[in-house]
Structure 1
Amino acid sequence: MSTDSTPLQSSAVINEAVQTLRDGGLVAFPTETVYGLGADAKNPEAIKKIFAAKGRPPNHPLIVHLAAPDVYDVAKIDWTALLSPWVRDLSEDALLLVNTFWPGPLTLVFKKDKSVLNELTGGQDTVAIRAPTHPIAQELLRKFKGGVVAPSANRFGKVSPTSAADVRNEFEGMLGLMVLDGGDCEVGIESTIIDLSSGDKAILLRPGVITPGEILAKTGIQVYQPGEVLKDESEEVLPRVSGSLRAHYAPTTPLRLYAPGRVLDALSEFPDIKSRVAVAVLDSESSLGHDGHPSVHFEEIIMPSDGAAFANRLYRSLRDLDQQGWDLILFPEPPAGEEWDGVRDRLQRACFGSGPSSSSHDSN
């Protein structure tokens, strides 16, 4: 495994990464959300290497990452020209979303151009695309001059990486993998995914830090929840996307959520595994104390009560706790509000998939 531990990568290192991609190799690189495991989106053999490295089901689609041109005025970017090799139809709403939120943590799903490889779409007639903001990702993509598919750089179903060290630990001993170090990820959870492939409605397929409310406020576009679409219609039009399985983002240590003010009840619910428990507590909550629980050794982990800050810390905390030998990890149920929906989605899937027997989630 080739690595560079300097957060600000030199042009020579970026050039080496570009050549690795052109040669059909894999490059792990930072985005503002999480680290991605990248391959040339036009090379079917390189794409197969991603599925093999991650242990990812072949029908689980990938996201294509594109570069924004290096221009002074972002408003002058011709996204239509950049998207035309990938997308069959580009609506006015799609262009409005792209011009408002790209580069950024928003993935859009389109009807795919006929040239887009089935290997990256999971055999579907749709393609998911985004443009990351991280400067290293942008430089890599600009110099590569093409699309790069990049799911999170971790084993399938496990906690996503937010640092280069996470990637190296995940794929320790993997020959030929180049890892670009861009420091810690700013957002910390994966991008919001909006489906535009049905033509008349924008549908939320995966929540993230960009919320339907923010999209409505900035563009006037109404984003619908899958449940708001007619059931028979949704079954026909909603594509499969990354991170949509019931079990995902999961630590090996059992993870459970507790209701507000009910952490002590949660400690009592798991008598067989409650001897050493890590309890995440919002910084706005009072300390738990140890009264009445002499048989339980637990440690409080203070988490931010701000949704965006919590998201930034989520995977880092889960990875660290997973390596510390706890019997159980407890996290608070996220507060109400769509700014917490991305965190809530990740925690619920992580809970379902957590535990030592959850090494594979192919059947979920």
Structure 2
Amino acid sequence: MSSDSAPLHSSAVIDEAVQTLRNGGLVAIPTETVYGLAADARNPEAIKKIFAAKGRPSNHPLIVHLAAPDKFDQTQIDWVALLAPWARDVSEDALKLINQFWPGPLTLVFKKDKSVLNELTGGQDTVAIRAPAHPIAKELLRKFKGAVAAPSANRFGKVSPTSAADVREEFEGMLDLMVLDGGDCKVGIESTIVDFSSGEGAVLLRPGAITPGEILSKTGVKVYLPGENKTSNEEKVLPKVSGSLKAHYAPTTPLRLYASGRVLDALSEFPDTKSRVAVAVWDSESSLSHDGHPSARFEEVEVSSDSTVFASRLYRCLRDLDQQGWDLILFPEPPAGEEWDGVRDRLQRACFGSGPSSNNHESN
């Protein structure tokens, strides 16, 4: 089901979700990127429930989600006032990005206000904030009249959920979890994260649907890659933002990438693979030849050569393949170009974390 025909919830259901948040409970919410596991961002006990449900290390910061007030006569939203309880030093450049891209799949990192809970920031002095664009998330946040902390609604390190069914499956048995169904997520990968906390301009911490090129063309603000703008040799030991670990977004089935036209090479690297291999192939390319690797029984899965469509279906595809009992999943390496950076980032981390054992996450 597409988000266009998403089942927009009755106000009674939204009110129940607001009450759940006020009571310190968790609510799985749809956003345009992925589903989030939301708790009151001002309630330390509620935030701890997120970490417990996900099995997530407590030094991992969470993203604060807030909504613009619903005032139809307001042409320019006063984001500075909305950010004041959370962030310090909101620069002119940061405001340019906010006015252009919020609400939307863009998270910004600022120095945190002293009132922001340490539980939320992983004990760090920065806070990550975004305003989601999904109508249900917006309505919930407006009625809640506060902010929620909301990492992706999945077990730590695993494939992010892009439908309400994914969330229910992920947290099966967690009877008190309220899940708001907003249809399938349109963007399909997590938000772009840009850091403004250093005072040294804008730095890309996680690629996503909104690229540095788009930011530059629409706002005139240059977003640097880490280490590009300054000779900063400070070692960042703690993850500053969500999804920055080497192993993340990972299926239980081993996942590998293959270079263009090199499927058979990739298959021959896995001689011990029992036989069942799922091979994702570009919809723009002709079918693979089965010659040359008779031992592998493989099935082709077509993936879109359009970066936006590919992103929106990536996690759905990984989840489906993961449940089909393959011995190995092969994906083509995404082409060059920053519009592919977001999915390239997710696929590389998914490969690194993939496989049946979860202790490969220790190697981060």
TM range, smaller chain: over 0.9
Pairwise mapping of residues 1-364 of structure 1 onto structure 2 (< 5 A)?
7-72=7-72, 75-233=75-233, 235=235, 240-358=240-358, 361=361, 364=364
C-alpha distance in 2 between matches for 1:251 and 1:359: 13
User: 1:3 — aligned with what?
Assistant: none
The CA deviation at 1:8 is 1.8
Aligned length: 359
1:219–1:301 distance in 2 versus 1, CA, 3 Å: same
The CA deviation at 1:160 is 0.1
Q: Which stretches of structure 1, 4 residues or longer, exceed 3 Å deviation after superposition? A: 229-239
The CA deviation at 1:31 is 0.1
The CA deviation at 1:273 is 1.3
C-alpha distance in 1 between matches for 2:258 and 2:36: 31
Superposition TM-score, scaled by structure 1 size:
0.96
Residue identity in the other structure for 2:21: L
- Deviations 1:220-251 (Å, cap 9, x if unpaired)? 10100013144535536996100000000000
1:165–1:237 distance in 2 versus 1, CA, 3 Å: closer
**What value does the CA root-mean-square deviation take over the aligned residues?**
1.6
Residue identity in the other structure for 1:337: G
C-alpha distance in 2 between matches for 1:360 and 1:257: 18
Percent identity of paired positions between Structure 1 and Structure 2? 82
- Deviations 1:319-351 (Å, cap 9, x if unpaired)? 000000000000000000000000000000000
Residue identity in the other structure for 2:183: G
Provide the secondary structure at the position in 2 that maps to 1:12.
helix
C-alpha distance in 2 between matches for 1:353 and 1:237: 19
C-alpha distance in 2 between matches for 1:344 and 1:86: 32
C-alpha distance in 1 between matches for 2:35 and 2:55: 17
1:175–1:238 distance in 2 versus 1, CA, 3 Å: closer
Q: Is the 8 A contact 1:248 1:346 kept in 2?
A: yes
Residue identity in the other structure for 1:320: D
- Deviations 1:191-243 (Å, cap 9, x if unpaired)? 00000001131000000010000000001101000131445355369961000
Q: Is the 8 A contact 1:226 1:234 kept in 2?
A: no
Residue identity in the other structure for 1:140: L
Q: Is the 8 A contact 1:34 1:161 kept in 2?
A: yes
C-alpha distance in 1 between matches for 2:110 and 2:140: 24
Provide the secondary structure at the position in 2 that maps to 1:8.
coil
C-alpha distance in 2 between matches for 1:339 and 1:95: 23
Q: Is the 8 A contact 1:157 1:360 kept in 2?
A: no
Residue identity in the other structure for 1:223: V
Provide the secondary structure at the position in 1 that maps to 2:169.
helix
C-alpha distance in 1 between matches for 2:343 and 2:82: 31
C-alpha distance in 2 between matches for 1:362 and 1:125: 25
The CA deviation at 1:74 is 6.5
Long gaps (5+) in structure 1: 1-5
Q: Is the 8 A contact 1:31 1:133 kept in 2?
A: yes
Provide the secondary structure at the position in 2 that maps to 1:168.
helix
C-alpha distance in 1 between matches for 2:351 and 2:45: 34
C-alpha distance in 2 between matches for 1:9 and 1:173: 23
Q: Which moved further from structure 2: 64-73 or 101-110?
A: 64-73
